[in-house]
Structure 1
Amino acid sequence: MDASPDKLNLYLSHRSALVDYAAPIVGCRSRAEDVVQEAWLRFNGRDQPNLSINNPVGYLYRIVRNLALDLTRSMATEKRQPDSDAVLAELPSGAASPEQETASCDELQQVMEALTQLPERTRIAFEMHRLGGYTLQQVATAMGISLGLTHQLVHQALSYCAARLERDHD
């Protein structure tokens, strides 16, 4: 499958920022490189002419974020202490009740829906800072915007999500 020049140029111009975005999530620059490479393969393999991408950079960041989170989750389940069963047996149960678990899932779903309603630039700034672990300065540099605007975008996203949760709980 050949890469279109536009897709390849887009990828190459954002590759370094994508690796920087994934590294804090996966905890290692080499794993971040792997995530970005996999994201490129998925992005390049998406040849469906009837589905257009309004913001290809945002789409690429979303692929990277999803793959990085998937890798982090899989690594967490693979890490096990040799005597973990004995340690767990001695610990008091901290498991949430089914009601608490359902409420948490509902809140997470509400936040995810709220994020999809944000303008693309606001959502990316929020995700990079709050989910990706980037400093505001790193987000500003990666997005090519001022530090003040970055702070404003993250604050707007956070306020919007909080208001959305509060409104849905009333």
Structure 2
Amino acid sequence: MPADKLSLYLAHRAALVDYAAPIVGCRARAEDVVQEAWLRFDGREPDAQAIGHPVGYLYRIVRNLSLDLTRRLATERRQPDGDAVLAELPAETASPEREVAGIDELQLISEALAELPQRTRTAFEMHRLGGYTLQQVATALGVSVGLVHQLVHDALAHCSARLEQADG
């Protein structure tokens, strides 16, 4: 089977490079991508499930590697010295005072949410804490999306007002 893999790769190598070149922006990078694809394709563990369409599988590997390279290059262009900048950032640990203040704020927000009507609190918790869309919350509560938006807004305004009262 290894000879079959190699002959398959060699038969399609030029087409794979042609396929990758427009994605990565140059033939030299495309050559690197196709070489990496071959290493992954050849290094794949032989198992009971043979690949149904090995050429398609090889093209998929090339496509995925090409897109990964494109994303990585775009990130490096946006922040060429990103690793150095990250290394110089201070640790993201809060001081003990900030931790206590955060705990106090969470307690105030919890109390503020407990003061809300059940439907308002449920809409807020589902949307802001549970990650549900406004449409999903509206369906669950049997109300309109506009009403859910208003309920979430009311809950946010109430929590914000309570935090401001505590600061004042």
TM category, shorter:
0.3 to 0.5
Larger radius of gyration: 2
Q: Which has the higher contact order (CA 8 A, sep 6+)?
A: 1
Length-normalised TM-score, structure 1: 0.46
